[in-house]
Structure 1
Amino acid sequence: MRNAFRAHRPPRRAILALSLACGLLVGPGASAQQPAKPTPEQMQALQQMMQQQIQLMQPELAQRVKGLSPETKQLLLRIYSQHNRHSDRITLRHVMHEVLADYHSMNAGILTDNPEQAADSARRLANHRIPRGGLLPYLKLDDITDEKLSALASFNDSVEGNAKRLAAAAEQGDMAGAAGLVGEITAGCVGCHQMFRGVPGISPLLK
C-alpha cells in the first residue's frame, strides 16, 4: 500500500467543511492537547465524511480503518473538525507543497516584521487542505494501528497548534515570540515525517 508521506499519493474530497492533520514534539509550555470536541451536529457530519472516505479505500485499508478503536476514530474526527478546506482532487503531496509554501511565507513575514503576513500564513498552514480520501490512504498499512495513530494528537498540537499560537503572537506584535515557535513547528513536521514518511527518494531497488 502507499506510504503516507513516502508515496505521497492521496484520496478524495470529504464534502463537508471539517478536518485532519499532522505534527509532533510539543514545544515549551505547550502540552500535547486533544483537539477540541466537535458539537453533535459536527460529529454527525464528520462521521458521514469518514464513511465517504472509507468507500474510496481499497478493501484491505477499509478493513483496517473499520477495525480501529472508538478512541482512535474519535481522535481522527476531532482533528478533522479543525479543518474546513477539503479537496476531491489533490493528493497529500499537493497538500504538503501548499504547507511548505505557507511555511516559507510565514517565515518571510517574521523576518520582514510583517505580522499580518506571518499570521495569515500560519493560519493557512494550520488549516491546510484535506486531500482526496483523507490522510489514512497515504499511510502504509502497518501505520494504520491504534498505537501509531495515537501520535497524531501530539503531532497535531506541535504543528497546527503552534502555528495558531504563532499567528496570535504575531497579531499581538510579539514577533520575537512568534519567531520562537518556528522551531517547534519545524520539529513537529520533521518528527511526523520520520514516523510516517521515511526518507524521500530512497528506492528499495538500490543496493
Structure 2
Amino acid sequence: MLPQCKNFMKFITITMALFFGSFIFMANSHAEPSMDNLKAILQKQMDMMKPELKKKVQGLSTDTKMAIMAILAMHNRYSDKATLRQVMLEVLQDYQGIVMGIMTNSSEMVADSARRLANHRIPVGGLLPYMGMENITDERLALLEGFNDTVEGNAIKLAKAADGDDMAQAAALLAPITSGCVACHDVFRGKQLGASDLLK
C-alpha cells in the first residue's frame, strides 16, 4: 500500500474512533443514574423531608421502596427548584407537543415531546412530599408503578412509533396515556384541582 494511502486509512480510522467514542460518551451522559447515584439522590430527598414524613417513608415496605427506586431510575433529570405542579405543567406542555405533532404530521416533534414526557423532571425533594401524608402507604404507592407504566411506558412506545412514521399508532397511544394521567390525579391530587373542602 502506498504511504499516502496508509496515512489516509490511518486518518479515517482515527476519525471514526473519535466519532464513535464521542457518540458513546454522549449516549452515556444521558443514561439512567447508577445505583450509587440513586442512593445519593434518595438520601438527599430524605434529608429534605420533615421528620413526620421521613418516619412514614422509612416505615414503607422494602417492595414499595424498591418500586419507587425503579421509577426514579428511569429518570435522569432532577430539579433543585421545580415543584411537582411546575413539573406537571412541563408534562402538559410535552403532551400538547405530542398532540400538535400528530395533527401536523411532524414525527420528530411527536418523538421528542414523548421522550421528554417519559423522562420528565423529578421535582425538588422527590415525588413523595407532594402526595399528602394520607397517600404515603404501601397500598396507595403500589398504584404508582401501574400509572408510571401506563403514562411513561406508553410515551416511550409512542416515541418509537413516531420514529417509524407510524402516526396512527402514535395517535392510538394517546388514549392510554391520558387515562393514566387522569387516574393518577384522581388518587394523588383529588378530584378537582384547587378545590377547597373548607367552603360550605
| TM bracket (short chain) | 0.7 to 0.9
Report the equivalent of 1:98.
90
Taking only the aligned residue pairs, the percentage that are identical comes to 54
Q: What is the DSSP-based 3-state SS (H/G/I as helix, E as strand, rest coil) of the residue aligned with 2:78?
A: coil
- Alignment of 1:181 with 2:168, yes or no, is no
Partners of 1:131 and 1:195 lie apart in 2 by 19
- Alignment of 1:203 with 2:176, yes or no, is no
Report the equivalent of 1:138.
130
**Number of positions where the alignment pairs a residue of Structure 1 with one of Structure 2:** 170
How large is the Cα RMSD of the aligned pairs? 1.5
- 1:58-89 CA distances to partner (integer Å, 9 max, x unpaired)? 10000001111111111111110111111101
Which amino acid in the other structure matches residue 206 of structure 1? L
Q: Which has the higher Rg, Structure 1 or Structure 2?
A: 2
- 1:84-138 CA distances to partner (integer Å, 9 max, x unpaired)? 1111011001000100000001110011111000000000000000000000000
Q: What is the DSSP-based 3-state SS (H/G/I as helix, E as strand, rest coil) of the residue aligned with 1:150?
A: helix
Relative contact order higher in (CA < 8 Å, ≥ 6 apart) = 1
Gaps of 5+ in 1: 1-16, 19-37
Report the equivalent of 1:42.
34
Of 134, 144, 161, which aligns to 1:169?
161
Of 150, 155, 160, which aligns to 2:142?
150
* TM-score, reference length from structure 1: 0.79
Partners of 1:142 and 1:51 lie apart in 2 by 22
Report the equivalent of 2:114.
122
1:43 to partner: Cα distance = 2.0
- Alignment of 1:73 with 2:60, yes or no, is no
Structure (1/2) with the larger helix percentage: 2
8 Å contact kept, 1:110–1:175: yes
